[in-house]
Structure 1
Amino acid sequence: MTARRTVGIAGTIVGAVSAGVAAGALAKRYAVGRIRLRPDPEANEPFGELRGRERVLTTSDGLQIHAEVDGPEDAELTVVLCHGYCLTSDSWHYQWRNLRDRYRVVLWDQRCHGQSARAEAADCTIDRLGEDLALVLEELVPGPCVLVGHSMGGMTIMALADRRPELFGDRIRGVALISTSAGKLAELSLGLPALVSRAVHIATPGAVSVMRQRSALVDRGRQAGNDVAFLALRLLAFGDSKAVSPTVVDFAETMIRATPSEVIADFYPALMSHDKLTALDVLNKVPTAIVVGERDWLTPPDHSRAIAAAVPTAELTMVPGTSHLVQLERPGVVNDALRELLERAANLG
């Protein structure tokens, strides 16, 4: 084969690939553009603008934790909201807005997330988050409270139950676990066929290693890939993706994109090794609500059913047509469940 012919074939291949990439980018922009042209009732919702009285806590390992306190100081109960992996306390927007008039609300950014300081990889563990939550209660919660956790935030509450069971009953009057798991996340199929799921699990540790070692490069790529991230998040984190507000998807995607790749990589092993099923019996001492979207791929309904089996006194709510970010996708359902839980917790006093 002549050099000229080789160059010609190579040029043809490169040209075809380039055309394919360009066509894919065009299709992606077209799809996102069509989504954004639909009516959006949440377009003017002030996401990320709710603010309370700021507090800064210092953990036992010298880390600064950002927190906010809102609502009446003399409220009968304090609600402590614990956000999920790659999110911030702003992810509780609808619940914060709904509860702040009647209840004292405490929100905090878990270590390495939001406005809280970064920690060493060795200190990015679920048990460490449980210790941080104990500090939040000690410093910011003067009376009885109800703990609410989404995803990793629910795991944080489980870690506290494991380490400090004596707090549940008198001090902690109720618990809500939303879209979370007591363990075995490493076995998830993510809705994929078995062979594909196995391949994903094999490849993921390597990808996580790259995220940690080349975080600056990865983060630049994440900043450039907004449309791809928008479509992926809309598909994976919201169940009824055709009905969900583009503004809500943008809001969630912005929080995730702001989480450094190193932080994502540092917490990943902790999530995969998380196992607190034996600690859940503590929750039988207080009213407990479990909420999960029936289409949640990240912490599937079976994980919530396992929690409910370990906490037979709990009330399990399966939300039709929703996925992992159920508190943003169907805030009214989550708010109703929390209000009912808070009424039950208030009656314990």
Structure 2
Amino acid sequence: MKWSRKTSDGIAYHYNASNSVDEKAIPIVFIHGVGLRAESWEQQLAVFGDQYRCFAIDMPGHGDSELLDKPTLTLDDFAEALKNFINNVIGEPAIVVGHSLGAMTALQTAVTYPEVIRGVAALNAIFDRADSAAQKVQSRAESLLDNLEQNVSDQPIARWFDKDSKYQVQAQMCRDWLDNGNRLGYARAYRMFAYLSGISAAQLQTIIAPTLLLTGELDANSSPEMSLAMANIVPDARAVIVPKARHMTQMTHASEVNSALKLFFEQCTTHGNIDA
């Protein structure tokens, strides 16, 4: 069973669960990265919808979701949107799986609203990003806001896929989402992401839910070193580095990502003696 809906506050989402999945099955929420859409999780929804209640959301200003009514966004704004979705649509704590900016949103929600989080998997997250790296991203973010008509897909597609012919289909999907999405929503979210250095170590130490930090071996911006460092800070965390993967791990290396998520979901099922 799969359908798409929109909440009263403008968040569009996909729901996927087989007819055999019990209505009490554990809920999982998937959150995409900046400029992308819920459909970036298709290879995860297809697998985990046989056992869990799977929700994939379009973040504010992305896909079919509406813009937040404020010109300058913060990570707390996205965390609040996620918290509201979990409370209003699901009605119980959920496992949250985020990619890139979605990973940062998932981690911030685990810090600020731990009561709605059963587990958090952060794919290709950043931590303690160097000022030199951040400045390049910030310059591009400001340029995007100054000119919403400029090309937005060439640079990220080159970084994410490096012209690898094996991933032409995935690269074209991402290019289409970037080129045809809400330009203002993308620019505002990108600027918010550009000024993030990561969740602070002090905040990471407060996360009480089981946590998975996963990234690609070849992801220069969300590097293995970042995920390994976070895994050493979060009390109940594990890091997984996917060999030969770059930034779009859930799309290009779905088998490896799904294997890691399967083990993680099982861990979350038994954490704190919560019944499946």
Instruction: Give the TM bin, normalised by the shorter chain.
Output: 0.7 to 0.9
Contact 1:233 1:249 in 2 (8 A): no
* Change in 2 beyond 3 A, CA 1:341/1:57: same
Match of 1:157 in 2: 106
SS in 2 for 1:282: coil
Say which of 263, 267, 272 aligns to 2:194. 272
> What are the superposed Cα offsets for residues 66-92 of structure 1, whole Å, 9 maximum, x if unpaired?
122221352421111011111111011
Contact 1:106 1:140 in 2 (8 A): no
Further displaced range: 151-160 or 70-79 = 70-79
Structure with higher helix content: 1
SS in 1 for 2:97: strand
Further displaced range: 287-296 or 300-309 = 300-309
Q: CA deviation at 1:157?
A: 1.4
In structure 2, runs of 5+ residues without a counterpart are: none
The 1-side partners of 2:12 and 2:72 are apart by 17
* Change in 2 beyond 3 A, CA 1:151/1:127: same
Contact 2:157 2:174 in 1 (8 A): no
Q: Report matched runs for 1:274-313 at 5 Å.
A: 274=196, 275-277=198-200, 278-283=202-207, 285-313=208-236
Contact 1:77 1:145 in 2 (8 A): yes
Q: Which amino acid aligns with 2:112?
A: R
Q: CA deviation at 1:233?
A: 4.8
Q: Which amino acid aligns with 2:206?
A: V
Match of 1:329 in 2: 252
> What are the superposed Cα offsets for residues 238-280 of structure 1, whole Å, 9 maximum, x if unpaired?
36x5352311211121112223443333223321332422221
Q: Which amino acid aligns with 1:213?
A: D
The 2-side partners of 1:187 and 1:121 are apart by 28
* Change in 2 beyond 3 A, CA 1:65/1:123: farther
Q: CA deviation at 1:282?
A: 3.1
Say which of 238, 254, 257 aligns to 2:176. 254
Contact 1:185 1:299 in 2 (8 A): no
Contact 1:121 1:266 in 2 (8 A): no
The answer to whether structure 1 residue 105 and structure 2 residue 54 are counterparts is: yes
Contact 2:142 2:191 in 1 (8 A): no
With structure 1 as the length reference, what TM-score do the two structures score?
Answer: 0.69
Aligned length: 267
Q: CA deviation at 1:346?
A: 1.1
Contact 1:109 1:115 in 2 (8 A): yes
The answer to whether structure 1 residue 76 and structure 2 residue 21 are counterparts is: no
State the percentage of identical aligned residues: 22
Match of 2:89 in 1: 140
> Bigger radius of gyration, 1 or 2?
1
Q: CA deviation at 1:121?
A: 4.9
Q: Which amino acid aligns with 2:85?
A: V
SS in 2 for 1:118: coil
Match of 2:166 in 1: 244
Say which of 110, 121, 124 aligns to 1:176. 121
Q: Which amino acid aligns with 1:302?
A: E
Q: Which amino acid aligns with 2:67?
A: R
Q: Report matched runs for 1:21-40 at 5 Å.
A: none
* Change in 2 beyond 3 A, CA 1:183/1:116: farther
Q: Which amino acid aligns with 1:87?
A: L
Q: CA deviation at 1:307?
A: 1.3
> What are the superposed Cα offsets for residues 24-69 of structure 1, whole Å, 9 maximum, x if unpaired?
xxxxxxxxxxxxxxxxxxxxxxxxxxx833332244xxxx111222
* Change in 2 beyond 3 A, CA 1:238/1:75: farther
CA RMSD of aligned residues (A): 2.4
Match of 1:3 in 2: none
The 1-side partners of 2:247 and 2:15 are apart by 26
Say which of 206, 212, 217 aligns to 2:145. 212
Contact 1:70 1:104 in 2 (8 A): yes
> What are the superposed Cα offsets for residues 290-318 of structure 1, whole Å, 9 maximum, x if unpaired?
11001102322222122112115311111
SS in 1 for 2:67: coil
